Structure 1
Amino acid sequence: MHRNGEPGEVMRLEEVERPVPGEGQVPLLVRAANINFPDALLCRGQYQVRPPLPFTPGVEICGETEDGRRVIATPALPHGGLAEYVVADAAALLPAPEALDDAEAAALHIGYQTGWFGLHRRARLQPGETLLVHAAAGGVGSAAVQLGKAAGATVIGVVGGPDKARVARELGCDLVIDRRADEIVGAVKEATGGRGADVVYDPVGGDAFAKSTKCVAFEGRIVVVGFASGAIPTAALNHALVKNYSIMGLHWGLYNTKDPAAVAGCHRELTALAARGAIKPLISERVPMKDAADAVQRVADGITTGRVVVLPEGDAR
C-alpha cells in the first residue's frame, strides 16, 4: 500500500525485504492470512490504527515459527499478514488448534474472540435465551451464530439475499430473516411470542441497530461490534430507559492490553469448542496471493460469505 484508497485500486503485489523482528518479536512464515473488514478500513485510512505508508494490510494469520510450531498471530503493522513473512509479538502467540487446518486456524482468532467476549463476557448470554445476529452469513456473524448455538441459545440470523440465507441455515440458525424480503422487527417478535431477542449481536450499525432497538426484549442486551454498513447510529437513551435494555460496546483489541490473560483463556475455550466440533470457521474461499486485492475489495463491498483466506502461491493447505 503506497497510498490510501479502495483495496482493489491501491493494493499491489511487490517483492520487499523481509521484516526484521524488534524487541520481543519473532519472525513467522505465513501459512494462511484471513481477511477481515478492518483490512479494508486500513486500506482506506479509516481504521483506528493508521500505519505509515507504505504498509501491508492483514491483521490475522496462521503462521509457523522458526522452530516449526504452528501458531495464530496478529502481525505487527506496518508488516501485515498479506505477505510471505511477518513479525509478531512473541508473548501474544497462540497455538493453532489441531482440529483446524491453516485457513480455519487463521480465521479463528479475531472474529471468534470478538464473538466470545461479546456474547459471554459482555452480554452474559444464557442457555435458552434468544440471540439475534446481524450479517449472520458474514465472517463476524457466522462466528457469533456458532458460538450462540454452542452456548445453548436459540439463534435468529439476519442476512441479505437467498444465498446468504442458505449459508445461515447451514450454520445452524433456528430462524433466518432476509432483510431484503422480510420485516425484521415483526419476524423477531413473532418468533419470540412478542418478547423480542434477549441478546442482539450487531457488527453492522446503521439501520440494523435502529431495528434492533425495536425488537430487543425486556432487560435485553445489544452488543455493538462494528459498523460494516458505514453508518454509525446515535442511540436514543430515553428509549433504552423506558424499555429497560442495555447497549454495550465490544472492542476486542482492548483486552490484548487491558487483560491479556483473558484472551489466552478465551483461546483455550475456543480450542476446546473446535476440538469437539462445536465451532468451525466457515471458509468460503481460499485464494492465492495474486488475488488478495480483489478478495479484500469484495470483503469491503460486503458480497462475501464466511471467511476469505489468502494462501501462499500454489499452496493447497
Structure 2
Amino acid sequence: MKAWRVHELGEPRDVLTLEDVADPTAGEGQVLVRTLAAPANFPDVLLCRGEYQIKPPLPFTPGVELCGEVVAVGAGVTRAAVGDRVVGTPVLPGGAFAEYAILDQANVFPAPQALDDAEAAALTIGYQTAWFALHRRTQIVAGDILLVHAAAGGVGSAAVQLGKAAGATVIGVVGGAEKAAYAKELGADLVVDRRSEDFVDAVKEFTGGRGADIVFDPVGGDAYTGSTKCIAFEGRIVVIGFAGGTIPQPALNHALIKNYSIVGLHWGLYQAKNRAVIDDCHAELTRLADEGLLRPLIGERLSLTGGTDVADGVGRLGDGSTVGRLVFMR
C-alpha cells in the first residue's frame, strides 16, 4: 500500500514522504480498514515535529482519525464487521495517512449515515474534544455565553456548532477575514477578527459587561490572558491546548478575586479512565448529526495518495493558513 511516512522529525513539508509499504494485518481485537477520508489535525503537525505527547518510533505514519471501510477483523472483534463504514482513531505508528490502517476495536464507531466520508472523518477527535469540554468539564446550559478561540479551526469549529446546539450564544475569535466568514457560516452569533479588533472589548460590549460564561481555549498565550479579562462571574475557562505556542502561567489570585474556574481537558485520558463515556458521546454526536444540528464544514478535500497534498496540507495547517477542515480523500 501507499503511506505517508516520517523518517526524521521536522516540519511536515520537509519530512513527510509517500512510500510503498507492506499492507497491515489486523491482530486480536483489531480492525483493518481501507481509508476513505483522513482529516489533518494539529496533533499531526506536532507528531511530525516530535512535540506531541505521544512519540511513535521512527518511521511512522501520521493521521490521528479517519473514516474507513472495514476489510478485515481480528479474533474477538464484536464492534465492527467487514463492509461497515466506520470512524475512529488508528493505532500509531500506522496512522490514517495511508491506504489502509489498523484500529483497536474500542476506538471504532459507526459512521453517521447523515455525513459523507469527509464529514464523518472529522467527527471523532475535534467534536468529541469539544463535547467533553462543554458538557462534562464546563456543564454548558442554554443561555450561556460561550467564547471560542480559534473558532475556524478543527476543534474550535466543533465547539461553535456544539455550543449553538446546546442553546448558547457563541462568540468566535478568529484571525483573518476568510476565517471570520467561515465562523459565521458555522453559526457564531458574533465573530471577532483578532487581527483588527480587541476581543476583550468586543466581548464586554456584546454582553453588556457580563462577559463570557465559558471560554473554550485551544490557543493559550494572549488568548488565555485576554479571556481572564472578560470572563463572567462564576465563569469557566476550559484549557484545550496551546496552539499559539505559549503555555500560560495563570495568576490564581485573579481567579479567586473574580470568582472564575480554570479547568483542563485531556480527551485521550477518557480512553483509559472512562471509556464508556466515549461511546455515549459518539451516540450523542450521531444524534445531533442526524437531526442536522451539526455538520463538519470541510474547507478543502485533497488527495490522500496523489502528489504532495498531504505534506503541503499538514504544513499549511501548521502555518495557521488553512480555513475549515482539511480532509485527504482516497
Give the TM interval when normalised to the shorter protein: over 0.9
SS in 2 for 1:117: helix
| Stretches of 4+ aligned residues off by more than 2 angstroms | 20-23
- Written as runs of structure 1 = structure 2, the 5 A alignment for 1:46-195 is 46-66=51-71, 67-195=82-210
Q: In structure 2, what is the equivalent of residue 299 of structure 1? A: 317
Q: In structure 1, what is the equivalent of residue 249 of structure 2? A: 234
State the shift of 1:311 in Å.
Answer: 1.0
State the shift of 1:22 in Å.
Answer: 3.0
Q: 1:212 aligns with which of 227, 233, 242?
A: 227
Q: In structure 2, what is the equivalent of residue 13 of structure 1? A: 18
CA deviations on 1:283-303 (whole Å, 9 max, x unpaired) are 000100231010000111111
Structure 2 unaligned segments of length 5 or more: list them: 1-5, 72-81
CA deviations on 1:230-282 (whole Å, 9 max, x unpaired) are 11111111110101000100111111111111000000100000001100001
State the shift of 1:156 in Å.
Answer: 0.4
The reply on whether 1:309 has 2:327 as its aligned counterpart is yes
CA distance in 1, matches of 2:106, 2:326: 27
The reply on whether 1:197 has 2:215 as its aligned counterpart is no
CA distance in 2, matches of 1:311, 1:166: 25
Amino acid at match of 2:174: V
CA distance in 2, matches of 1:232, 1:301: 18
RMSD, matched Cα: 0.8
Query: Structure 1 length normalisation: TM-score?
Result: 0.97
Q: In structure 2, what is the equivalent of residue 283 of structure 1? A: 298
CA distance in 2, matches of 1:18, 1:27: 10
Query: Structure 2 length normalisation: TM-score?
Result: 0.93
Q: In structure 2, what is the equivalent of residue 245 of structure 1? A: 260
Q: In structure 1, what is the equivalent of residue 276 of structure 2? A: 261
SS in 2 for 1:222: strand
Amino acid at match of 1:221: R
Amino acid at match of 1:230: G
SS in 1 for 2:326: strand
Q: In structure 1, what is the equivalent of residue 31 of structure 2? A: 26
| Contact 1:139/1:282, CA 8 A, preserved across alignment | no
SS in 2 for 1:13: strand
State the shift of 1:208 in Å.
Answer: 0.3
CA distance in 1, matches of 2:8, 2:24: 20
Amino acid at match of 2:102: V
CA distance in 1, matches of 2:213, 2:262: 12
| Contact 1:155/1:174, CA 8 A, preserved across alignment | yes
CA deviations on 1:211-234 (whole Å, 9 max, x unpaired) are 001100010000101111111111
Amino acid at match of 2:31: V
| Contact 1:70/1:95, CA 8 A, preserved across alignment | yes
CA distance in 1, matches of 2:212, 2:88: 34
CA distance in 2, matches of 1:170, 1:85: 33
CA distance in 2, matches of 1:231, 1:96: 36
CA distance in 2, matches of 1:194, 1:178: 20
CA distance in 1, matches of 2:121, 2:225: 33
CA distance in 2, matches of 1:26, 1:206: 40
State the shift of 1:76 in Å.
Answer: 0.2
CA distance in 2, matches of 1:184, 1:100: 33
SS in 2 for 1:55: coil
| Contact 1:196/1:217, CA 8 A, preserved across alignment | yes
CA distance in 2, matches of 1:90, 1:74: 10
State the shift of 1:187 in Å.
Answer: 0.9
State the shift of 1:23 in Å.
Answer: 2.8
